[in-house]
Every structure is written in structure tokens, then in C-alpha cells.
């Protein structure tokens, strides 16, 4: 027999209380000679002997009752082998073990590598189980290589092959898998162990599942075993984005790389490099304070159209699994844009956007523009276009709204330019589907040419001002900003998720970027004809609108095509009849595909994927998607034992929680014996304590120290 909480055996000291009281109350009677009572001397001796016996019996009952209660607090249990001999445990039990094998398990503390500590703990669980027990060992990261229950010897061999992996983490998914597998096994004997370093980000992924989802379900209790000290530093490449989404041959673009220090100490002598197609183009020396994140900017000038593969590489630090961040950028040979109007061919000829589109086709961005009336939009295949421009539509037809929303959702751009005669209810109904705010009224009057506001000055570094002016370092830019005569007033709504990219001098939005699905819509609150403003007669008009068009036409989500490990790969492509070929780091992948009327859906679980580049071919069209680790895996911050218990008791039923941090083999063996029990017997000790109390009462009432002869 052993105890789950042996520390509480200190309560056995309370058993001395009745003994102390006994000796305090014990007084040796003073002897006084009294001749008339001499004949009672023999009776007195017999009575005193009986009284002392009663006292000792009552003292023993009280001491044993308190000792049993103290032992019950320490949660005594029988190991599974002993419980089996006594017929209190089924030797056919099923034991499931969820092992954290994520990147954080590469750490080493004074007790050795985390993964070795985990292996020692699991080996003890296996050794202390009954001979007929079966084991299901499931990793939290990567693929499940064995999904069946194993005997002891097979479980040990499987354990020896388990290593930390730099793959996606699925703690909630794997715990649900274990629970369901135990439900499918015969009998009600099932135990679950979860062995982890108790990383906060890992455990938080469990929130909202299990008890929260199905409070009435009978979940199998989980014993959590914490390993590792959780005091390590780590620095990682946190992300890569394009500083500007305008992509074209010979057009400079910025690549912004984020580096984060997850530790509590300053990091020195760290270097960040950027490689493009295997060639290093720049390097920074980085110093990071505790918890600090920095963004560093590299300039990239595409020399030709096609796919650019790049890596942000961090040099320095102990743990290197997160020191590379892959990214891919597709520089197209040309961009196709469709300008849609409802004013007929004459209106299209009068369009103030058409000359800018024509000029853009002569630049390195190679914008190919097409033009159509809203009434003939159905004659065009929208899948051929990278962006569409809705210019001065009085209404967005309801029968086309769903099609336009899907166009944006699939990763393309849309530029919405309102009409002075626009229907506000129709506009807002369309924008609600894009989660893009709403119009709330108008300021000024169209065609009155009375200034109500002006465009806010463009500061250096503004999204649309980059390379707009040829100035020397430190030279101020002075420009007479256009006057505005009329514009729609705009509200971002409760979500406020849109980003204002250009404002009036009154602080009100003029152009708002809204991310939707994998695409983006740029919403204008004013048009470009003279009735709206005098922008069209200002020198800034052509370059400013040109950059807006490039921003919409060349837009891609974050500028970088990326898939984060820990989630299934699930994307839609407009080539709905295409044949799909995928390769990741040289390995061929066979995804699941499903064609609909307008697109092709490509899905794959991605459990075994590691960081790298995913090469995707749809018929003859090639693209590349960067595969990166979830940055949360780089945060090694762990919860204490009490914090872990507080988190988990709201998520799962807990059978117990212990720590083996810093333990050697002998200590791990003892700790595992404390949780690898066949049956708890603390209730036995409660009943025994009650029996002693009842016996004490019976003795007090029925045991008499004198007798009477009739």
C-alpha cells in the first residue's frame, strides 16, 4: 500500500492529542489512611484495575480513529498488481497516454532532456500496470503512427522511437481521440495520462472543449504529469510580411521580418539574415530586451516574374527550430483587372480611372485592363481577373452580390468607388456581406464646388506615398492637397476591423481597406470626377490613383502565401477543373479535392508536415506556399502546478496532477507509483475510523468498573 499525498501523513501527529490529554488528566490519588474504610481495600484494587483498563481501551480507540482519519487524508491506494490479487482491479484495463512531443520538449534541465524524463515516466506507468493491461500511446504533435492498443513490450519499443518533432500541435484533437477510443473499448476500466511541460499556450488550446462542449458526457478522468522546470529563454523569427503589396518586375518592395524574445533576459549577439532564392541580400545585428519584439525591413527588387522563395534566418540562441521563417511571393507577369460601370460605353470613355489603367499597363506591373457595363458582367469570367473595380454604380445588383463577395473571399481585390446617385441601402446591404462597415450619410453637395474638407497630407512612409516624391534625405515635402466638395460619411461599425488608409483633414475616412476571407476590398467614400473634388486636376492625381490601383490589383493576403502548422490545409482555387499536384520538401502529397461550380477545394490533414515550401501545381500553373510553425510553439512559458490544475479542472475531469520536474530515475519511479494505482482505499480508512469511534462509544456506555452481587 502507498499514498497519493504522503505529505499529509504529518496529520498522524494528531493521534498524540488523546495521549497528551490522558496524561494531563491523569492524577495519582493522594493516599489518606482512614481506618473505617479498611475493609474496602481489596474492592478498591479490583475497581482501579478495571478503570485503568477502560481508560486504556478508550485511549486506544481515540488514537486509532484519529490515525485512520489522518491516513485517509493522504489518499492510500493499492498498486494495480496487489489490487488485482485482491480482486479489486481488472487486469484487462486500458491505459491511454498523451505525450507532449512538441519542439519545447527539446529542452534540457538539471534532470536531463525533457523527452528522456517523459520516457522514464511512461516506462514506469507501463511497468507498474497489470500484465494484461493494454496501452495506447498518442503524441500531441505530428501524425499518429500507431492508433491501436499495445501490450507492454510493444509499448516500450514504440516509446523508444518517439522524439520531439517540429510539426503541428493538436492537443485538444488528440485528447478527444483518446477519450473516444476508450469509449469504444469494452468494460469501464480506462485511465488517461497526459505528460507535458505544461506550456501555457499548449494548455490554452484545450479551452472551450470537453466539459464546455458536452458537460453531461461521462469523460474519462485524466492524470496530468508535469515535467521540466520551465525557466528557459528562447528567441524566434515571429513572422514575415510585405511592407507594401505592390509587386512587379523592377519595383522595390519591402520585406518586414519580426523577431521576438520570449525570455526574461536580454539577448545579444544575434544576427538576422534574409535569403532570396538561396542568396543572402542583407543582415542585421539584433539586440532584444526581455519580451521585446522588433520589426526589421529588407528591400527586395524582383528581377523577373515568377515565384520568389525566401527565408528569414536567425543566428544565435540555443533552440533553432524556430530560427527559419519561410515565405514565398509570386510576382506575376501581368495582372488582369476588370472595370465595371453602369453608364454604358459613353460612361466608360468618360471614366477618370481609365487613363490611369492604360498608363499602368506600360509599367513593370503589366496591368491588363478590361471594361464592361454592369448589365453585361455575366459575359465575363471573373476567375480570369485578379481584381475588379466597381466605378460609380448607382446600385450593386442583388443577384450579383453573392458572386462578387465570393470573388473577394477567394483571395482577389476589389475597389469600390461610389456614385453621387448611389442607393445607400443597397450599398450598405452589399458592404455588410463583406463585413466592411456602412455609409451613414453625406457631407457637402455634389457639383456645388464648395470646399467641405481636404485630403489629409501624405506623410513620409505613408502606404500610398512611397516613392511618390523624389526628395533628398531630410527635405520636407510641400504639396497643395486637393479640396473635397462632397463625400459619403462612413462608419466602420462595431467590429471596427477595417483599416483607414486615407483620411480627410477632418479625420473622417476617405478610403478604407477591409480584409475579407483571403481577399481585400478598398472602399472609397468619394469618386474621382470634378463634382466630388478637384483631385483630378491636381498633379498628385495620377500617381496617387495609380498606387491605389496597384494596391488593389497586386493584393495578396499579407503579401506572403503561408500555411501555419497545427491546422488542416484547406484552400479554394479558381481553377475548378484543374489537376492538382503537391510536393512538400521533395515529398509528393495526395490531397483530397472537390470541384464546385466556381472553384476547386483542396484539403489535406497536414499532420506530418514540417516547415518548408509547398509546391502546388494546378494543371500547368505553378505556385508555392510557405509552411511555417505556429509561433506559439516558440513560447516556452509554463504554468505552475497549481495554475495547471486551475486551468485543467475547468476543461477535463482530473484524477490527479503531479510534477516530476528535476526528478531522477528513482524519484520518477516513486512518483509514478503514486499515480499508477489499481484502486484508492481511503474510504476504507474512513470506515475503520468510524468503527473505532462507535467502539469507543459502546465501551464508554457498557463497560462498568464495578460489579454488584445480588
**Overall average pLDDT of the 562-571 stretch:** 93
The pLDDT value given to residue 315: 92
Residue 2 lies in a domain: no
| Cβ–Cβ < 8 Å for 333, 302 | no
DSSP 8-class letter at 383? G
- For 299, the 3-state DSSP assignment is strand
Is the Cβ–Cβ distance between 586 and 554 less than 8 Å?
Answer: no
pLDDT at 84 exceeding the cut of 50: no
Read off the pLDDT band of 481 (50, 70, 90).
confident
**Among 493, 525, 553, where does a domain finish?**
553
Q: What is the CATH number of the domain that holds 304?
A: 2.60.40.10
Confidence of residue 709 (pLDDT cuts 50, 70, 90): very low
Give the span between the Cα atoms of 338 and 414, in whole angstroms: 10
Q: Is there a single domain that holds both residue 247 and residue 361? A: no
Cell triple for residue 509? 475616412
**Residues 611 and 671 placed together within one structural domain of the fold:** no
Q: Give a yes or no: residue 57 inside a domain.
A: no
d(CA 404, CA 91): 63
What total number of domains does the chain contain? 3
- Domain identity same for 609 and 646: no
Grid coordinates of 621: 500553373
Banded pLDDT at 89 (limits 50, 70, 90): very low
Query: 412, 604 in Cβ contact below 8 A?
Result: no
Q: How confident is the model at residue 140 (pLDDT cuts 50, 70, 90)?
A: very high
Domain that includes residue 360, residue range: 335-469+479-553
Determine the Cα–Cα distance for residues 672 and 660; give it in Å rounded to an integer: 9
**One domain, residues 438 and 514:** yes
pLDDT, one tens digit per residue, over 101-111 is 999 999 888 88
How many Å apart are CA 58 and CA 100, to the nearest integer? 54
Instruction: State the cell numbers at 261.
Output: 524574445
Do 377 and 520 lie in one domain? The reply is yes
Query: Residues 520-546: pLDDT tens digits?
Result: 899 999 999 899 999 988 888 888 888
- Structure confidence at residue 29 (pLDDT): 56
Residues 227 and 241 in one domain: no
User: Does some domain include residue 218?
Assistant: yes
Backbone angles phi and psi of 407, in degrees to 5: -60, -45
> Stretch 428-437: mean pLDDT, rounded?
92
Confidence at residue 90, expressed as pLDDT on a 0 to 100 scale: 42
129 lies in a domain? yes
pLDDT of residue 334: 77
Question: What separation, in Å, do the N-terminal and C-terminal C-alpha atoms of the chain show?
Answer: 53
Mean pLDDT of 137-159: 92
If you compute the radius of gyration of the chain from its CA atoms, what whole number of angstroms results? 38
Residues 607-612: what's their mean pLDDT? Answer: 95
On whether both 496 and 350 belong to a single domain, the answer is yes
Enumerate residues 6+ apart whose C-beta is below 8 A from 89: 78, 80, 83, 130, 189, 678, 679
Task: Please indicate, yes or no, whether residues 599 and 666 belong to a single structural domain of this protein.
Answer: no
What whole-number distance in Å separates Cα of residue 179 and Cα of residue 183?
Answer: 6
Indicate if 269 and 146 belong to the same structural domain.
Answer: no
For residues 516 and 368, membership in a common domain is answered with: yes
CATH of the domain at 653: 3.40.50.410
Q: Is residue 699 part of a domain?
A: no
pLDDT in tens, 10-33: 766 766 776 677 666 655 555 555
Mark whether 452 and 547 lie in a shared domain. yes
List of E strands, 56-133: 76-79, 94-99, 108-109, 112-113
102 phi/psi in degrees, rounded to 5: -75, 180
Domain boundary among the residues 574, 604, 633 is at 633
**286 membership: H or E segment, kind and range:** strand 279-288
Rounded to 10 deg, the angle between the 16-25 and 41-73 helix axes is 160
Shared domain for 382 and 525, answered yes or no, is yes
- Cα separation, 428 vs 139, in Å, equals 49
Q: What is the pLDDT of residue 559?
A: 52
Provide the pLDDT for residue 115.
92
Name the grid cell of 446. Answer: 455634389
Question: 428 lies in a domain?
Answer: yes
Q: Give the residue from 490, 524, 553 where a domain finishes.
A: 553
Sign of CA dihedral 528, 533, 539, 541: negative
Mind listing the pLDDT tens digit for each residue in 119-138? 999 998 898 887 888 999 99
**Domain for residue 694, yes or no?**
no
Under the banding of pLDDT at 50, 70 and 90, the label for residue 549 is confident
H-type alpha helices, 161-244: 171-184, 200-204
What pLDDT, on a 0 to 100 scale, did the predictor assign at position 684?
A: 79
Q: CATH number of the domain that 341 lies in?
A: 3.40.50.880
Q: Choose the weakest-confidence range: 178-187, 329-338, 368-377.
A: 329-338
Give the pLDDT confidence score for residue 465 in this predicted structure. 60
* Residue 416 is assigned to a structural domain of this protein: yes
pLDDT at residue 462 is higher than 60: no
Half-sphere exposure of 681 (CA within 13 A, CB side): 20
Kindly report which listed range (236-245, 399-408, 509-518, 692-701) carries the lowest average pLDDT score. Answer: 692-701
What is the reported pLDDT for 557?
Answer: 40
- DSSP state at residue 267: E
The chain-wide mean pLDDT, for the chain, equals 82
Amino acid at each position: 500500500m502507498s499514498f497519493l499525498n504522503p505529505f499529509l501523513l504529518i496529520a498522524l501527529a494528531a493521534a498524540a492529542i488523546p495521549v497528551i490529554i490522558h496524561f494531563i488528566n491523569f492524577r495519582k490519588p493522594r493516599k489518606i489512611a482512614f481506618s473505617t474504610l479498611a475493609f474496602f481495600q481489596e474492592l478498591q484494587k479490583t475497581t482501579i484495575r478495571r478503570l485503568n483498563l477502560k481508560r486504556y481501551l478508550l485511549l486506544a480507540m481515540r488514537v486509532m480513529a484519529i490515525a485512520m482519519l489522518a491516513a485517509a487524508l493522504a489518499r492510500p491506494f493499492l498498486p494495480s498488481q496487489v489490487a488485482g490479487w485482491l480482486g479489486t482491479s481488472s487486469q484487462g484495463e486500458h491505459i491511454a497516454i498523451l505525450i507532449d512531443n512538441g519542439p519545447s520538449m527539446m529542452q534540457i534541465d538539471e534532470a536531463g532532456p525533457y523527452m528522456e524524463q517523459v520516457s522514464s515516466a511512461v516506462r514506469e506507468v507501463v511497468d507498474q500496470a497489470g500484465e494484461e493491461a493494454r496501452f495506447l500511446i498518442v503524441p500531441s504533435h505530428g501524425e499518429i503512427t500507431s492508433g491501436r492498443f499495445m501490450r507492454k513490450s510493444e509499448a516500450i519499443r514504440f516509446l523508444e522511437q518517439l522524439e520531439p518533432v517540429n510539426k503541428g500541435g493538436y492537443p485538444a484533437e488528440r485528447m478527444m481521440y483518446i477519450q473516444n477510443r476508450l469509449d469504444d473499448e469494452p468494460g469501464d476500466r480506462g485511465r488517461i495520462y497526459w505528460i507535458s511541460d505544461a506550456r501555457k499556450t499548449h494548455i490554452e488550446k484545450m479551452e472551450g472543449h470537453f466539459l464546455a462542449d458536452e458537460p453531461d458526457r461521462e469523460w474519462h478522468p485524466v492524470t496530468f504529469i508535469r515535467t521540466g522546470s520551465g525557466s528557459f529563454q528562447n528567441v524566434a523569427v515571429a513572422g514575415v510580411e510585405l511592407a507594401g503589396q505592390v509587386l512587379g518586375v523592377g519595383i522595390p518592395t519591402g520585406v518586414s521580418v519580426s523577431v521576438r524574445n520570449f525570455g526574461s533576459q536580454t539577448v545579444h549577439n544575434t544576427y538576422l539574415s534574409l535569403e532570396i532564392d538561396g542568396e543572402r541580400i542583407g543582415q542585421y545585428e539584433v539586440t532584444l530586451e526581455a519580451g521585446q519584439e522588433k520589426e526589421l525591413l529588407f528591400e527586395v527588387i524582383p528581377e523577373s516574374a515568377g515565384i520568389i522563395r525566401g527565408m528569414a534566418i536567425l543566428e544565435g540562441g540555443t533552440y533553432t527550430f524556430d530560427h527559419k521563417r519561410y515565405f514565398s511571393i509570386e510576382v506575376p507577369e501581368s495582372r488582369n483587372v476588370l472595370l465595371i460601370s453602369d453608364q454604358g460605353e459613353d460612361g466608360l470613355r468618360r471614366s477618370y480611372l481609365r487613363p490611369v489603367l492604360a498608363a499602368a499597363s506600360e509599367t513593370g506591373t503589366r496591368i491588363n485592363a478590361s471594361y464592361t457595363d454592369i448589365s453585361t458582367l455575366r459575359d465575363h469570367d471573373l476567375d480570369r481577373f485578379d481584381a475588379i473595380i466597381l466605378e460609380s454604380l448607382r446600385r450593386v445588383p442583388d443577384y450579383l452580390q453573392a458572386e462578387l463577395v465570393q470573388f473577394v473571399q477567394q483571395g482577389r481585390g476589389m475597389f469600390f468607388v461610389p456614385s453621387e446617385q448611389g442607393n445607400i441601402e443597397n450599398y450598405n446591404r452589399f458592404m455588410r456581406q463583406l463585413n466592411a462597415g456602412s455609409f451613414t450619410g453625406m457631407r457637402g453637395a455634389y457639383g456645388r464646388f464648395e470646399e467641405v474638407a481636404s485630403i489629409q497630407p501624405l506623410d513620409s512612409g505613408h502606404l500610398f506615398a512611397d516613392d511618390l516624391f523624389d526628395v533628398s534625405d531630410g527635405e520636407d515635402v510641400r504639396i497643395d492637397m486637393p479640396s473635397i466638395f462632397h463625400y459619403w460619411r462612413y462608419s466602420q461599425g462595431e467590429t471596427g476591423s477595417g483599416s483607414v488608409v486615407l483620411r480627410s483633414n477632418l479625420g473622417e475616412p476617405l478610403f478604407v481597406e477591409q480584409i475579407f476571407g483571403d481577399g481585400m476590398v478598398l472602399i472609397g467614400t468619394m469618386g474621382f470626377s470634378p463634382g466630388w473634388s478637384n483631385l483630378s486636376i491636381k498633379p498628385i492625381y495620377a500617381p496617387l490613383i495609380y498606387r491605389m490601383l496597384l494596391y488593389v490589383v497586386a493584393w495578396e493576403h499579407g503579401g506572403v502565401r503561408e500555411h501555419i502548422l497545427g491546422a488542416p490545409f484547406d484552400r479554394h482555387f479558381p481553377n475548378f477543373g484543374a489537376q492538382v499536384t503537391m510536393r512538400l520538401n521533395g515529398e509528393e502529397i495526395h490531397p483530397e479535392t472537390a470541384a464546385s461550380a466556381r472553384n476547386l477545394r483542396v484539403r489535406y490533414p497536414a499532420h506530418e508536415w514540417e516547415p518548408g515550401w509547398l509546391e502546388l501545381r494546378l494543371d500547368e500553373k505553378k505556385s508555392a506556399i510557405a509552411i511555417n510553425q505556429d509561433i506559439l510553439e516558440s513560447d516556452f512559458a509554463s504554468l505552475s502546478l497549481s495554475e495547471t490544475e486551475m486551468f485543467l479542472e475547468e476543461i477535463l475531469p482530473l484524477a490527479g496532477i503531479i510534477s516530476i520536474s528535476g526528478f531522477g530515475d528513482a524519484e520518477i519511479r516513486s512518483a509514478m507509483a503514486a499515480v499508477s494505482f489499481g484502486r484508492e482505499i481511503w474510504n476504507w480508512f474512513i470506515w475503520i475510523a468510524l468503527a473505532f469511534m462507535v467502539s469507543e462509544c459502546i465501551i464508554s456506555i457498557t463497560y462498568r468498573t464495578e460489579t454488584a452481587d445480588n
